[in-house]
Structure 1
Amino acid sequence: MSNPNGVAFYVPGALLLLAGCLKLPAVWRIPKDELLRSVCVLLFVAAGVFAVAAVPSIAAINRITGIPNAAAPVVYTILTAFSGSSLVLVIHWSSGPAQAEQAARWSRRCHWATLAVITAVIGLFALGDAPAERLVDLDTYYANTPYIREMIVLYLVAHTTAAVTMTVLCTRWARVVQGPLRAGLVLILIGYVLSLVYDALKFTAVGARWTGHDLDRLSWPVAPPIAALSALLIGIGFVLPRLSQRFMELVGPWRRYHQLQPAWRELRVATPHSINLVGGLRTPIDVRVCQLESEIYDGILTIHPYLDPEVHALSLVEARKTARTDEDAAVIADAAAVAHAVVVWATRTADQSAVPDERSGDGPVLSSAVNAAGLVLLSQALAKSPIVRATRVAAVLESSTR
């Protein structure tokens, strides 16, 4: 390859190997998860591609086996296995429970096709004669050698077929999904487009030898770095959605805890006798979020008799002028009503001579507080909406003039 000491191959290979090892405990815990197992296999095979394709590794394989160019079928085998494992992973990835049987059937076909190509590659190398060791230019040097020529063409055809198939599948799927999954598919798609560029360069260089021309520079040193980048992007693309899911599982509760803080600060004055929020590094974040939500709901129940339907209605009219949707406007109106009610409740509570308001059944229904997602939206509106801020200020001024 074009990197004589192999560092450009060994570093990404080590990272992919580490990612695969980190997946092993989950595979052991859930041995029947075909998708998880396929991801793990792909990571190890991708690491193998980087491990065997570096120049020092090619030289070492030849030296250890004592067979000139024995590394060639090894590299072609790993590349073919990588293409096959990619197809298997996409089959499991894009199939739901209803398509499990069909996915298993197509996976078996991919396994058999991959095994057939690998067997043919090894057999053709055994039949051929390649006595001169070629570390970087075997494809072009032996482009006209019987059996070795067929081995080279076979691996390139198999690799190209897999790349075209993956490009089509990923393009179709990327059009109908969003978020980290789509980002991963885009990386995989770019990786396989680069694979097709690699194949085109190889075919061109080999074809030039067949016609008596010399375009060896396309096969080496141009093509190998493209192949390395392709394998790296494909590996990252397959891992990215799983990493994003795990990241959100870890970060999501902390993000929710932070988002709920404005609502808790707004309403904590109305819940002075509720339990204190737990703290400390040993307290699970899920417990903190649960207690925070409990505090907020307690505060809403306390101020409910002071929710003013007129304030809610006027705020809803104002919010509809700037809100993107009716749902956003409703959240802002709910938040404005809560901010107003907190001020009124605090004023009435401070005035010991005031007669308690008994309008508990007449206040507006806070539609945004009926579920966890709506509670977050309510909290954010309490912190950010200028309508809510203006309503709060007006309530304070009104209370101070009484």
Structure 2
Amino acid sequence: MTGEDYYIPAAAMAVSLAFKVPALRHNWRDPLLRSVVALLTLAGAVFAFAAPPTIAAVNRATGITNFSAPLVYCLITAFSASCLVLMVNWRGGEPEQTRRVSRRWILGYSLVVVALVVLFLLGDTPVERLRDFDTYYANTPYIAHMIALYLLAHHVAAVVMVVLCWRWSLQVRGWLRTGLVIIVAGYIFNLAYDATKMTAVVARWAGHDLDGLSTYVAPPLASLGALISAVGFVVPLVCQRLSDHWQTWATYRRLGALWQEVQISAPAGTPSVRMAWWSAAELRVIQRESDIHDGFLHLGPYFDKGLRDDAYDSALAGGSDEDTARAVADAAMVAAAVRARSADPEGRIVGEDEEAPVDTADGPRDLLRISHALRHSPVVQEVRRRVAV
């Protein structure tokens, strides 16, 4: 792999990190957000410092031959720990239990990092190796132990991630399950990376030469695995947000029939609220619901409880369930009240009879059912025809 093959994934991680940093500044106490930022930072650092040009530059800057080797190994180990901590915080649970498990992973992998540094200091690596350090020094005292230790730590993290994500994916649905399956696929590539690296190192221990597996096959597997895993972490967050946004706009549109129906009930001269085109969908839904409830208040004197009861019975007789029948009855009462209000432009009816408020105990979902009934219910259409006659 060339330097660009390492720097492109590092740049992708940096771009993702740039979108997360502002959120971290506003909500830095969120452990899940901190875990995401740590993972993106370490992933980008691994690719940036593992690039051969960076390895050579760091070695020259420090004046220590092969200083980049333990640096990259420590970054890979820290990245493995960040993945496990992110998974623990993502899955959630009791806060104290989550913090305890996270601290255990961090402590365990911190000890591995310290051991890697100590083993490098005890060993001797006089010849600079930019691409094949693992196999070149596979039989060197202490350095061989350092190489085996970082591969083992990475392999343990990959196995745990595959097991945790796969088990969790069997318990959930939707975008979260999709993201977990993608993460599993990414970590299968990481397991393949471990297998090729270990095979080449063990071959050196046995006196054979399979260096090509470590030098040319393993790096692309690691790059591909990291990118796929990053996509798996991002997909549930981004797609769920887009899905929620789409659902909000759908709610806004579905309330349109009811909103238009009650507009006639607004007193003459009532100013209409105009929202800017960039207004959030959530604000638009709230404003539309507010307009509808205001309309109900103005239509109150014209609500006919007897008509509502008749429509409710008709809907039940037509096979509707109780919730749908209640929505159809409310829609029929609203439709009749709107026509009664239109026939009384001077507002002479002052509500001498008992009012029958619309039942919206379940909030927006009832309004959605009422809006749907206004447009599609044959019971409502029959009430409209009867009122018109």
TM-score (structure 1 length as normaliser): 0.80
Moved more, 189-198 or 156-165: 189-198
Cα distance change on mapping 1:395 and 1:167 into 2, 3 Å: same
Where do 1:4-153 residues align within 5 Å?
4-6=2-4, 8-96=5-93, 98-100=94-96, 102-153=97-148
Where do 1:341-360 residues align within 5 Å?
341-349=333-341
Is the aligned partner of 1:280 residue 2:284? no
Where do 1:184-195 residues align within 5 Å?
184-195=179-190
Report Cα offsets for 1:316-345 as digits up to 9, x if no partner: 34354xxxxx4xx623x3443345445434
Contact 1:369 1:375 (C-alpha < 8 Å) held by counterparts: no
Cα distance change on mapping 1:236 and 1:131 into 2, 3 Å: same
Report Cα offsets for 1:66-115 as digits up to 9, x if no partner: 4443322222111100001122222333343x442x33333333222222
Report Cα offsets for 1:6-29 as digits up to 9, x if no partner: 2x3323322322332333333333
Cα distance change on mapping 1:9 and 1:310 into 2, 3 Å: farther
Contact 1:312 1:336 (C-alpha < 8 Å) held by counterparts: yes
Report Cα offsets for 1:139-164 as digits up to 9, x if no partner: 22332233222221111111111111
Corresponding residue of 2:366: 374
Q: 1:289 aligns with which of 285, 289, 311?
A: 285
Corresponding residue of 2:264: 269
Q: Structure 2 counterpart of 1:305, which letter?
A: D
Q: Structure 1 counterpart of 2:75, which letter?
A: I
Q: Structure 2 counterpart of 1:57, which letter?
A: T
For the residue of structure 1 that corresponds to 2:303, the secondary structure is helix
Moved more, 304-313 or 227-236: 304-313
Corresponding residue of 1:310: 310
CA RMSD of aligned residues (A): 3.4
Moved more, 308-317 or 241-250: 241-250
Q: Give how far 1:283 is off.
A: 5.8
Q: Structure 2 counterpart of 1:118, which letter?
A: V
For structure 2, list consecutive stretches of 5 or more residues without a partner in the other structure: none
Q: Distance in 2 between matches of 1:117 and 1:153?
A: 11
Report Cα offsets for 1:167-200 as digits up to 9, x if no partner: 2222333333344443333333322222212111
Q: Structure 2 counterpart of 1:379, which letter?
A: S
Is the aligned partner of 1:228 residue 2:216? no
Cα distance change on mapping 1:242 and 1:282 into 2, 3 Å: closer
Aligned sequence identity (%): 41
Corresponding residue of 2:382: 394
Q: Structure 1 counterpart of 2:323, which letter?
A: A
Q: Distance in 1 between matches of 2:10 and 2:303?
A: 60
Q: Give how far 1:309 is off.
A: 2.5
Q: Structure 1 counterpart of 2:292, which letter?
A: I
Report Cα offsets for 1:283-312 as digits up to 9, x if no partner: 665554333112222444526326432333
Q: Distance in 1 between matches of 2:308 and 2:194?
A: 70
Q: Give how far 1:206 is off.
A: 1.9
Q: Distance in 2 between matches of 1:112 and 1:239?
A: 27
Q: Distance in 1 between matches of 2:49 and 2:317?
A: 68
For the residue of structure 2 that corresponds to 1:32, the secondary structure is coil
Q: Distance in 2 between matches of 1:10 and 1:272?
A: 64
Corresponding residue of 1:323: none
Contact 1:186 1:237 (C-alpha < 8 Å) held by counterparts: yes
Corresponding residue of 2:323: 330
Contact 2:331 2:371 (C-alpha < 8 Å) held by counterparts: no
For the residue of structure 1 that corresponds to 2:275, the secondary structure is coil
Corresponding residue of 2:152: 157
Is the aligned partner of 1:203 residue 2:204? no
Report Cα offsets for 1:109-139 as digits up to 9, x if no partner: 3222222212222222333333333332222
Is the aligned partner of 1:217 residue 2:205? no
Q: Distance in 2 between matches of 1:137 and 1:317?
A: 79
Q: Distance in 1 between matches of 2:127 and 2:218?
A: 22
Contact 2:327 2:366 (C-alpha < 8 Å) held by counterparts: no
For structure 1, list consecutive stretches of 5 or more residues without a partner in the other structure: 321-325
Aligned length: 382
Q: Distance in 1 between matches of 2:353 and 2:163?
A: 61
